[in-house]
Structure formats: structure tokens, C-alpha cells
A and B are shown apart, each in its own frame.
Chain A
Amino acid sequence: MTAQTTDIHIIAKLSAIAIVLHTAEFFLPSPIFGLKPGIANIVVLFTYYYFNVRSAAYVSLIRVFISSLILGTFLTPTFFLSFSGAIFSLGCLAIASYCLKSKYFSIYSFSMIMSLGHIVGQFVCVRLFIIQDNGVFFLLPIFIIFAFIFAVINAYIVDKILRVAKSHIKNDKIYP
């Protein structure tokens, strides 16, 4: 199944926005190493609600690869952390979109599931390849708390954007 040309255009634009957000986020100071708000996931979540899981996967993976090339972290541990987090959160999003009905689960659920998947993926990657010690799991509660906070904030932003986008785009695919 080939996507429409306009869809490809919109996916490319959304990927560009995600790359810009991810690059800007890289330069934000953070109190704990690796603690970031994940504002690029706003775009991924928006893409999921606007198109589907496949387009969200495109945007997320293009974002990871291109922004790592821009920042010069391609094939470094930072890139692999980002990549594993993206893969896990996309997997969680795919499972959630398959299992959960949008009648009962709103955007906040999907955002929380994605952020939790991101954290779990990063910890699995760190434990397996970078720091091979169970001590890394001591950081898990801190990261889960902040994942929850940022997931709620991101979902709120996506909710606001979708309300605006719905009146502009006149597309019934939003909130599938």
C-alpha cells in the first residue's frame, strides 16, 4: 500500500519538526544525566493520532537517525540509547494501539505507555551493553517519576495541538 503524496509531505514536515525539537532538546541543561523532557515525542504522538502507527514509526526513526547525524552522535552510546528507547516506545505504542480502544483510553494513556516504554528500552540497553551491573536499576524510580510528569505534559500539549488541528484540517482520522 503506497501512501499518498500529501501524506508523505506531511510526514516529512513532521519529521523535520521532530528533528529540530530533538536537536534543541539536546542543548537543554538537565540536572541528572539523561533526564530530558522528550519534546520530540509530542510530534510522534501527534503523528500517531493524525495518521497511524506506521507513520509515527517513520517520524520517530527518521528523527533518531537524522538528529544523531546532526549532533555527531551517530553510532555512539547516546545514539543507541535513543534508538532503543524509540524502538521500545514504538513497540509499546503499536501493542497499545492494537489492544486499547480509543473509546476508553485517551491520549494520556498512550503518552504514558510510550514514555514508560522509552524508559524501559533505555534501561534494557544500558544494562545489556553499556553498564553491565544491576546498580543501574537504582535510577529507575527517579526516571519513572519524571517519565510520568513529562508524559502528562506532552499529552496535554498534543491534546491542545489536535484541537487546533482538527478545526483546520477537517479530517476525521484524528482520534481514530
Chain B
Amino acid sequence: MSLLSDGGPAAAAAPSSSVAPTAVPPRAGVARRFLRKPVAVASVAWLLLVAVLAAAAPLLTSASPTASSITNALAPFGGDSPLGTDGLGRDVLAQLLYGARTSLVGALIVVAVALVLGLPAGVLAGYYRGRFDAAASWVANLVMAQPAIIILLVVLAQFGRSTELAMLVFGVVIAPGVFRLVRASIIAVRGELYVDAARVAGLSDPRIMRRHVLPVVVAPTIIQMSQVLGIAIVLQAGLEFIGLGSANQASWGGMLNDAFAKIYAAPNLLLLPGLAIVVTVTACSLVGNGLRDVLGVGATPPVRRRSAVRAVGPVVEDGRPSSGTAPAPDDALLRVEGLRVAYPEPDGGEGEVVHGVSLTIRRGEVHGLVGESGSGKSQTAFAVLGLLPPQAHTSATTLTFDGGDLRGISRRGMNQLRGRRIGYIPQEPMSNLDPSFRIGSQLTEPMRHHLGLSKAEAKAKAIQLLDRVGIVDPARVFDSYPHQISGGMAQRVLIAGALSCDPDLLIADEPTTALDVTVQAEVLDLVRDLQAERDLGVLLVTHDFGVVADLCDTVTVMRAGEVVESAAAAQLFADPQHEYTRSLLAATLEGGPARAALTTPAGGTR
């Protein structure tokens, strides 16, 4: 077998040719993906058109945009002026073309100033932190706190009307936005291990910045700049409209000003400059959106972390009958047969991740559900809890809890069971406590809701529970926030929470994986004691056969969405039936020989 099969024994069973890295479609170029977006392409085309027309204005019209002739005011379309003239007899077409120049140049000034000031400062502050960061952030905050329009008015009052000056000042005002975005992106990437790895690899700081840090900033900055471009055009038009633009320069805002003065005589004069502004600004915004989609900024988070599951009722339907499943005993607390979970795929079909899983848990039984990552064990547990994401499609031939059918149960009915009769212990204790509420209120709320206890009764019971799960100073922890306690304590708190409404079934998803071994041992002891004390049924999802051996009465082994073996724990460890179970047990290092002490150094370097 090839050593490549890091897919584990799952892959080992398959022919070794299929074991090579999963074929993933080749990287589509950013440009090519962008070209597949018609709206974004049309927007870019519009902006390019505006730019070309603005640049070629002298070639397209011989009329001067500023030369007025009172005798020729408000001329209609056609003739010498194809689009007519305005209230002062100025050629509308020429004004539009030269006005586009003013708009684009002004907007580019804003972008250039904002980038020149914000980008390097953001990069240095984010990468080196320290005093420069403190000073630069202070200045940025100060500038951001100023009202932009008042600064603009003051500057223009002081130095005279000038569109360029106004845009320059606006660039300075908007630079802190760039600074903060760049700084935040860099701080985020600075903490990535690959930047540390690059330092260990001997790369110099400028090189690390160029190769690993700056590329991260490019996408958000480009997107931000496309938005700034639009904002600058609107702001500039606004200033010109109120008469603060350069005096002897055609502009879209100035055209609006003139059209506004003649709104009764020639209302259609508003149309063209208005359209020019609206379409151009919209195009800027749409280009930004297109870039964001293509560059994947703010897109789906990394797949590794399980996204927060929303509580919805299980959308369980009758599944296809699975043949040959033995009838489960009558004292079953939880009975699952033929459970299937599928997710919609981009091509319109469905990808099934759990293929007809069956398991039964009796009252007082601890049932281990074991498998490697991707085996579908957590999906199975979440399907029982009705906590799969809404797009998941779940079906089963049987899914009963204490005799009641869970298939097609209402959201309300499921909420009555969850927390009340089915407790849940999650993998990551910290991310399952809300950081903005005290432990006490998070513990008492379900009790007050489900059991109808008064505030005082709920508090008394919560403190009693905290004491029971081995928390030394329960009253203090009751009043603490989650960040004030350790991970082990947080897991105890969650166990207390899972038990608070005296459930019959406890579903624990890798409850000790995030904990240190010594803490893990204590938490396992706690779960064992509580289970015996309350005769709980437990579904324990884990990848660790040590945890299974410690706690479980029965075990179900899963691989790639299917059950490969289900047996009593003692029997499974003593005499595993399935090849896959055997290979998993063989992979444990525990009990293997220790490596001998080094006698002669291996290899050449001595």
C-alpha cells in the first residue's frame, strides 16, 4: 500500500490509484472568473467607456464646454449642439464629456491620496505594531472623528473654490479608512503560522511582506477603492451642485446646478448629468461587488471549523426501508434506523454523507460512536438532535426517542425535547458559552423556560449543579463571565447545563477532545458518575478508542457515512470483526514499544 494514503484505512481499502490527492478543479484565473459575471463586466465596460469619452472629449466635439452664448440658450437637440444647450447656451454634450473628465480625475485624486497615506502606514503599523502603530492609529482615529463636510467647507472657504483641492482634502479624510482596513488585514495574517514559518526559513522582512503579507491586503483594498471611487464622484457632484467646484470647469454637478435653476423651463436638462452620475456610481459599486465575489473576500469561512448550527426542527422524512435490520429491543431510549443525511451540491444533485445508519441506545447505556474525521459520526448525532444546518436533507425509516417518533416533529415539539429530555455536551466548551452573559444566566434560562422554576429556585438548582460537577466555588463561577474560567471548568459548566433539566439522554460530541489529558480524565470520571447516578443513556461521539474503553458499554464504528461494526465494548476490543476496526485499533500507538535510546547517531552528521 502506498504511503500516500493519509485518508486513513478508509482509503486503504480502496485501490491505491484512487488514493492520490483528490482531484480538485484547476484554479480558474481571477480574470476569467470575473469575466463570467455579466453585471460586473458591463460595469467595467461602462467605466472604461466614460474614461475613453472623457479622454477623447476634444476629438468628439469642437464646442467648448464653458463658452456661453445667451442668444443660443436652451437650444433643442440636433443642429450644432447634438444634445442641445443649457440655460447659458453652453453645449450639453461638451459639458458631459468634459464633466466626465473632472469627475474621473477628481475621484482618482481621492483614491491616490487615500492610498498614498493609508496603505504604507497601515502596512507598517500592522506588521511592526509598537509605537508607530499607536501613533498612527491615534492620528487615524482623530481624523475619522472629524466631520468631513465641515472640513471641506472650511478648506474651500479659506483657499477658494477648487474641485481638485476639495478632492485632495477628501482623500486625506478618507485615508484612515484605508489605514484601518490594511492594518487589520495585516495583523490577521501576521498571526498565521506560515508567516512564522517564512521567518524561520530565513526570509527578510521586506520579502515576507511582499510574498506573504501584501497579497492579503490587495483584494480588500481594491474592493474598498472601487467603493471610494463612487463615493468621491457623488461627493464631488454635491460640492459642485452647491457651487463649490472650480469656477471655469465643466462638471456633472455644475450641470445639475444649472439645470436646477431652469427646472421649470427645461426639466430635461437634469436628465443627462443625473443619469451620468447615477450610472457611473452604480457601476463603481457593482465592480466592487464583482471583485469581492471573485477574490473571495468575506466569503465562506474555512471549512475546518464547524459553523454555528442553527436550531431547527428535524426535517426528517420516511427513509427508504433498509433491509435486514434486526428489530430493536423494546426498552430502547433512542432508536435510529436507516438514517440518511444529504446536502445539496452545486451541480443541483445531492451528496449523501450518512448512508443509512442504525443504532439503538437503552436507558442507562453508554453508546460510543467512533470514527475518523469525515466518517459522519457528528452528522449522525446532530441529525438526532435536529441541529443540522437547514439545507441538510435528513430521512430515516425509524427515529424514535422514548417511543415517540422524531420524524416530522414540529420545531416546537423538538424544542420541548432538546435541553429538557435530551441534553447536549459540545466539543468546544468556550465557543458554546456566550461571552456576553454571565454563566449563571446561561444556566438558569433553560431551567426557567423548561421547568418553569422561579429565578431564585433556578439559581439554587444551578449552584447545586455546579457543585455537583466539581466546581470548587460555585457561587463565584455562577457570577463569572465565560472568559474568567478555564476550558476544563467551562466543560463542567456545560455538563451542568446539559443535566439541568434532568434529561434521559445525553449526547456528547467529542466532549474531551479540546481538553488536556488530566482534565479529560476528570471530565470522563464526572460523566461516568453522573451517568450511573441518573441512569442516563449516553451517545458519546469520539475518535479516541481510549475514551471509548474508559466509558462505553456498546460501540458503533463508522466509516465514510456507514456503520461498519457495532458490538459490546468488551467484545469489540477483544475480537474486532471488521477489517477497518482492526486497522483503527492497530493504529493506536499506546502500548507499542518505546524508541530505544540513541546509541550511534544515525546518518552522517556526527
Q: Do chains A and B interact in one complex? A: no
Residues of B within 8 A of A (CB): none
